[in-house]
Amino acid sequence: MTSSPASVRVPGPPRIPPLPPSEWPASLRSLLADSHKDGAGRVNLFGTLAHHPVLAHAWLSLARVLTHEGTLGDRRRELVVLRTAHRLGGTFVHERHRTPATEAGLTAEEIRATAAAPDAHPWTDEERTLLETCDLLAANSTLPDGLWQRLARELDPEQLIELLVLAGQTAAMSTTLGVLRTPSDDAGAVRPHLTVRLDRERCRSAGRCAGAAPEVFEQSDTDGRATPLVPEPDQKYADDVRLAADLCPSGAITLMDAT
């Protein structure tokens, strides 16, 4: 079976530009903060969904179940996501999941192999079955009985249902973001030097900054006020730090950019 994607991303500016965090509903900003452990690269995704808050919550709730309450296991989940995104030309999703895939135990070679022909890498029999399943589902093809029986030998009914929903959810996300031309968070981004200033006297001990950027802010166990752990954080935390500043109810956080 060919490894070429079923569709390709059309270059050009986003058809519906992502909204900045300052224009998101407060509940959606909190959802991003609560899902911090899912890694970076979610700002433009959330910013796109913010145009439809009700749908955003439903969509992201399903994603949270699949990611944190699923039974497939991390490695299987990321294989399904990466392969499905590749087959549907979901550049945004494929790039976004490289870090979670690494954390799930996939090597850099294996991640690259999810975008190659199945026989280009020595996958296990179970993994080849998963990849073959993703290819057929992405092509809107039926699963032959023989393939289904191979799946059923490895997965229980709950996992089989989850596999199909996961592939479908990944396909929907890949198609939506591809058609809308949603850029990755790094696309065309200016990476200035970022300095954090926090006025502890104004801090109301809400703890939202520590929730949004725990690598940069710490909440005191004694008075509950926040303290910046890193006054000049690494750029990989820039989006989280900006979200933390947006979420601060007292405006105690000031960010200074310098090129």
CB 45 within 8 A of CB 97: no
Please give the pLDDT value at position 23. Answer: 86
Task: Give burial (CB, 10 Å; 0-12/13-18/19+) of 19.
Answer: middle
Residues in the chain: 259
What percent of the chain is modeled with pLDDT above 90?
45
List pLDDT tens digits, range 2-57.
444 444 444 578 999 999 887 888 877 777 666 655 656 678 888 999 999 999 98
Mean pLDDT of the chain: 85
For the stretch 184-230, pLDDT in tens is 877 654 445 578 888 888 998 988 888 888 888 888 888 899 988 77
- In angstroms, rounded to a whole number, what is the distance separating the alpha carbons of residues 7 and 87? 8
Task: Evaluate if residue 142 carries a pLDDT over 80.
Answer: yes
**DSSP letter, residue 245:** H
Q: Can you give the pLDDT at residue 119? A: 86
pLDDT at 34: 64
Neighbour-count burial for 98-125, b at 16+ CB within 10 Å, e otherwise: bebbeebebeeebbebbbeebeebebee
- Quote the pTM value: 0.70
> Of all helices (H) and strands (E), which one includes residue 167?
helix 157-180
Percent with pLDDT over 70 in the chain: 85
Predicted pLDDT at 222: 85
Return the structure tokens found at 108. 């850099």
The whole-number pLDDT of residue 259 equals 47
Residue 244 predicted with pLDDT over 60: yes
What pLDDT does residue 148 have? 98
Asked if the model's pLDDT at residue 236 lies above 60, the reply is yes
pLDDT score of 107? 93
CB-based contacts of 164, cutoff 8 Å, min separation 6: 137
For the record, the structure tokens of 102 come out as 């690494």
Pairwise CA distance, residues 181 & 154, whole Å: 37
Name the residue among 183, 177, 176, 180 with its Cα closest to residue 16. 180
